[in-house]
Structure 1
Amino acid sequence: MHTRAKGSIAEERGCEFLRKKKLRIIDRNVYNRFGEIDIIALDPDNVLHFVEVKSAVTYEQAVNNITPSKLQKLHRTIQTYLQQKRLNLDYCIDALILSDEGLEWIENITL
């Protein structure tokens, strides 16, 4: 299976998980000149969650793909998205880690 196909499957599983947690999916695969946002979801408290989805065989392999450089690009991508959509909401950056060990949601990751 191609990497893109695996990523799409992981993102779909991630969206299902977030919906079960009562978040509403606002957007997916948002691209701009700085990068991509995998999932954008809104929680019941009107906080936007910008979710980076990573999948690998092991948890460690997946989580190690979230580098400081990746987070910096993601932050710039988010700022551009918020400006383009004229949104002024609280937000956080989350990670959904999918591995053979299961799925883990890490909320509010930082640089």
Structure 2
Amino acid sequence: MHTRAKGNIAEERGCAYLRNHGYRVIDRNVYNRFGEIDIIAMRDNVLHFVEVKSAMSYEQAVNNITASKLQKLNRTIQTYLQQKRLNLDYCIDALIVTDSGIEHIENITL
């Protein structure tokens, strides 16, 4: 299976997980000149910009969230907020998707 197809499956699982935990999925695969936001969801009036990482193991997936990845994601988020004229509280979350399950890490920073 191709990497993109695996990513799509992980994102589908991630959206189902978020919905089951009280989030409303607003958008997916949002692109701008700085990068991509995998999932944008809302819960309790807070926007959650969700990075989905999948791999064979938790460690392998979580290690793919680097400082440069977060910087790029931050620029992408700021552009999204400006384009949509949004002034809401937000955080960056990660969903680590493995064959054994999904781990949700809220409000990630490095």
User: Partner of 1:108: helix, strand, or coil?
Assistant: coil
CA distance in 2, matches of 1:54, 1:11: 9
Q: Which residue of 2 aligns with 1:103?
A: 102
CA distance in 2, matches of 1:30, 1:86: 15
**1:10 is matched by which residue type in structure 2?**
A
Q: What residue number does 1:18 align with? A: 18
1:14 and 1:36 map into 2 onto residues whose CA distance is 16
1:74-93 to 2 correspondence within 5 Å? 74-93=73-92
Q: Once superposed, which parts of structure 1, at least 4 consecutive aligned residues long, lie more than 4 Å away?
A: none
TM-score by length of 1: 0.97
What residue identity is the alignment partner of 1:89? Answer: L
Shift of 1:105: 0.2
Does the Cα contact within 8 Å between 1:59 and 1:101 map onto a contact in 2? no
Task: State the 1:102 CA deviation.
Answer: 1.6
Q: Work out the number of aligned pairs and report it.
A: 110
Note the aligned Cα RMSD (angstroms): 0.6
Whole-angstrom CA distance in 2 between matches of 1:89 and 1:21: 21
Q: What is the Cα deviation at residue 100 of structure 1? A: 2.6
Indicate the residue corresponding to 2:65 in structure 1: 66
Q: Percent identity over the alignment?
A: 83
2:49 counterpart letter in structure 1? F
Deviation string 1:43-101 (CA, Å, 9 cap, x unpaired) is 0x110000000000000000000000000000000000000000000000000001133
